[in-house]
């Protein structure tokens, strides 16, 4: 079963972390990613650039509307993701609980639709 | 079929349906299919047993009959789907597996209860699915119990079953490292069912006895299947000790009777003894720090007291203090205040309650002003008491409790 683990955290809160802390978190991310790869759960993982770089696109009545940033002001922003293959939700939760941001942000665990006709 | 044969099957259905259903869910991996096939198996039994006699192991027979019916159904559906996909090519879910480690001889109810009470499910969904599967309440009954429209409850059940399937919540007893945390979640749900039955949050009846009984039955399953753990025995003890007073808590007119005025002669002695036995068992397994054990110990002191006045209030206040240290909560503090008032005098209890009020705790909880009013009344400050009774009435949800407070208000206002 594939799961997408969406990492949400407050960019402003992360911005106040000092260099040492930031380095430690990054190193921990590296270690967790290596573990997830070693255990065979890893499918993909990426870190997103800050929302200041984001663009939101909509098409309404055939017209493309392009705006700066995400539409809603939310407390936490999407900062990255892991895509994993896990046996069941408990395994996915166990991996989510090891992602460093889980301690100051939150991880949303979303099951991914299986492909059609997989027997 | 002879009437005794019919009764036998009915009895079997009542006693074994949860075990059979739990096993079938494990085998079939689908809550709805399992339930449907179980019902079909009982229909076959109703038909065959009077003629061919009851099989040696009725449960195993029912499980395997239901399983065969499911296999037939899946084959038929698969055939049907193949024909369909030739023309429509629409997305279909993969057929569910027909294996698993369930066998008619294992007791799968523990797997079922841990799945129904998985923390990734909304609490109201956990409660509904537990009552539906393990207790066999109909969707209509559950809707009535929680005072929601039938379609709302039906939707809630669909949503929770859908999440179990789609997010792939494992059908298992959690491994040792997860067990304490998950058992906690299960017990919270069971106790919630009990408390909803014991003091209904809305409606016109104070007690919904069937919910109390179901929670006690669930607690018994936990005690029976997790005999080495201290917590389930403590929870079961607590529920039994509270429930032993069920008959005495409501007068013949349906109105509330306070502990102080209850006829202790109608308290259920059998439940009290069983509760105390379970409490001792829990304590001997290291349950002394468990919230339920401490609460059960408090209930046990009440259960053993000859009268309200002769209750060992010092012991109760001490137990509440310990509970407060281990599991701080304003509700526990409120209860401690009442015990302190009884042990040392109302003014000492009132001081604690006024502190709670000042801290802005329990602003929506009617029992805080109700307790303040009661202590003020005991101190002879009737007009102050009336003010607090009025506040409690504004917050209370269920009919008998509201009428009790209204009578107390009228009483205090007349003094």
Residues in chain A within 8 Å Cβ distance of B93: 114
Res. B99: pLDDT tops 50: no
Is the pTM value of this prediction over 0.90? no
Note the pLDDT of residue B61: 94
Which site among B167, B178, B179, B181 would you substitute to test the A interface, given the most A Cβ atoms closer than 10 Å to its Cβ? B167
Note the pLDDT of residue B203: 63
DSSP B203: S
Dump pLDDT digits (tens) for A38-63: 999 999 999 999 888 999 999 999 99
| Band (B88; pLDDT cuts 50, 70, 90) | very low
Q: How does DSSP assign chain A, residue by residue?
A: -EEEEEEEE-HHHHHTS-HHHHHHHHHHHHHHHHHHHHTT-EEEEEEPPPGGG-EEEEEETTEEEEEES-SS--SSEEEEEEEEE-SSHHHHHHHHTTSGGGGTSEEEEEEPPPPTT--
Token pair 């969904």 is found at B125
Angle, alpha carbons B305-B292-B401 (nearest 5°): 65
Note the pLDDT of residue B361: 83
Dump pLDDT digits (tens) for B281-310: 999 999 888 999 999 999 999 999 999 989
Q: Which of B91, B95, B166 sits opposite A111 (nearest CB)?
A: B166
Q: Which of B91, B93, B170 sits opposite A90 (nearest CB)?
A: B170
Dump pLDDT digits (tens) for B231-271: 999 999 999 999 999 989 888 887 888 899 999 999 999 99
Residue B175: closest C-alpha in chain A: A90
Note the pLDDT of residue B362: 87
DSSP B250: B
Structure tokens given for B189: 């749900």
- Given a contact cutoff of 8 angstroms between Cβ atoms, the answer to whether A8 and A106 are in contact is yes
The CATH H-level superfamily of A2-111 is Dimeric alpha+beta barrel (3.30.70.1060)
Residues in chain B within 8 Å Cβ distance of A109: 120, 167
| Whether A90 and B93 lie within 8 Å, measured CB to CB | no
The rounded mean pLDDT for chain B is 89
Note the pLDDT of residue B201: 61
| Whether B93 and A114 lie within 8 Å, measured CB to CB | yes
Residue B91: closest C-alpha in chain A: A116
The complex scores an ipTM of: 0.87
- Given a contact cutoff of 8 angstroms between Cβ atoms, the answer to whether B343 and B314 are in contact is yes
- Given a contact cutoff of 8 angstroms between Cβ atoms, the answer to whether A5 and A92 are in contact is yes
User: Measured between alpha carbons, how far is B14 from B353 in angstroms, rounded to an integer?
Assistant: 47
Structure tokens given for B52: 């061919």
Q: How many CB pairs under 8 A join A and B?
A: 31
Q: Which of A88, A116, A119 sits opposite B169 (nearest CB)?
A: A88
Res. B17: pLDDT tops 60: yes
Angle, alpha carbons B342-B344-B347 (nearest 5°): 85
Q: How does DSSP assign B343-363, residue by residue?
A: HH-HHHHHHHHHHHHHTTTTT
Surface of B (163-222) touching A: CB under 8 A? 166-170, 174, 178
- Given a contact cutoff of 8 angstroms between Cβ atoms, the answer to whether B66 and B18 are in contact is no
Residues in chain A within 8 Å Cβ distance of B166: 111
- Given a contact cutoff of 8 angstroms between Cβ atoms, the answer to whether B61 and B55 are in contact is yes
Residues in chain B within 8 Å Cβ distance of A1: 168
Dump pLDDT digits (tens) for B263-273: 999 999 999 99
DSSP B289: G
Residues in chain B within 8 Å Cβ distance of A89: 118, 120, 167-170
């Amino acid at each position: 079963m594939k799961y997408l683990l969406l990492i949400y955290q407050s960019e402003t809160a992360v911005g106040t972390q000092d260099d040492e802390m930031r380095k430690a978190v990054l190193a921990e991310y590296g270690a967790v990613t290596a573990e997830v790869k070693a255990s065979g759960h890893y499918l993909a993982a990426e870190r997103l650039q800050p929302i200041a770089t984001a663009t939101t696109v909509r098409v309404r009545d055939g017209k493309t509307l392009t705006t700066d940033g995400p539409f809603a002001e939310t407390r936490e922003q999407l900062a990255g993701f892991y895509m994993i293959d896990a046996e069941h939700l408990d395994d996915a939760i166990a991996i989510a609980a090891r992602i460093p941001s889980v301690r100051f942000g939150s991880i949303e665990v979303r099951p991914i639709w299986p492909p059609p006709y997989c027997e | 079929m002879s009437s005794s044969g019919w009764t036998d099957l009915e009895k079997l259905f009542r006693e074994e349906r949860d075990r059979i259903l739990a096993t079938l869910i494990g085998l079939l991996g689908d809550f709805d299919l399992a339930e449907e096939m179980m019902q079909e198996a009982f229909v076959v039994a109703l038909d065959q047993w009077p003629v061919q006699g009851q099989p040696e192991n009725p449960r195993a027979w029912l499980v395997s009959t239901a399983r065969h019916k499911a296999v037939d159904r899946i084959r038929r559906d698969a055939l049907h789907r193949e024909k369909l996909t030739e023309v429509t090519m629409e997305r279909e879910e993969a057929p569910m597996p027909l294996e698993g480690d369930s066998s008619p001889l294992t007791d799968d109810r523990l797997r079922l209860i841990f799945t129904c009470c998985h923390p990734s499910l909304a609490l109201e969904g956990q409660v509904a699915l537990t009552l539906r599967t393990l207790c066999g309440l109909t969707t209509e009954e559950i809707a009535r119990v929680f005072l929601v429209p039938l379609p709302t409850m039906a939707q809630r059940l669909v949503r929770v079953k859908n999440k179990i399937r789609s997010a792939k919540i494992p059908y298992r007893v959690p491994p040792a490292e997860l067990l304490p945390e998950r058992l906690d979640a299960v017990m919270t749900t069971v106790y919630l069912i009990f408390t909803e039955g014991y003091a209904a949050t809305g409606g016109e009846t104070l007690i919904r006895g069937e919910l109390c009984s179901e929670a006690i039955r669930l607690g018994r399953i936990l005690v029976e299947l997790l005999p080495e753990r201290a917590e389930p025995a403590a929870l079961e003890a607590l529920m039994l000790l509270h429930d032993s007073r069920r008959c005495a808590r409501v007068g013949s007119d349906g109105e509330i009777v306070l502990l102080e005025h209850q006829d202790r002669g109608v308290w259920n002695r059998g439940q009290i003894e069983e509760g105390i036995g379970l409490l001792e068992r829990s304590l001997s397994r290291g349950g002394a720090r468990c919230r339920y054990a401490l609460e059960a110990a408090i209930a046990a002191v009440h259960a053993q007291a000859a009268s309200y006045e002769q209750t060992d209030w010092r012991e109760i206040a001490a137990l509440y203090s310990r509970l407060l240290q281990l599991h701080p909560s304003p509700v526990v503090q409120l209860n401690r205040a009442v015990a302190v008032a009884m042990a040392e005098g109302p003014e000492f209890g009132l001081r604690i309650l006024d502190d709670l009020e000042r801290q802005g705790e329990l602003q929506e909880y009617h029992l805080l002003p109700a307790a303040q009013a009661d202590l003020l009344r005991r101190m002879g400050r009737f007009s102050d008491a009336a003010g607090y009774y009025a506040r409690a009435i504004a917050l209370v949800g269920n009919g008998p409790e509201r009428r009790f407070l209204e009578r107390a208000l009228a009483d205090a206002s007349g003094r």
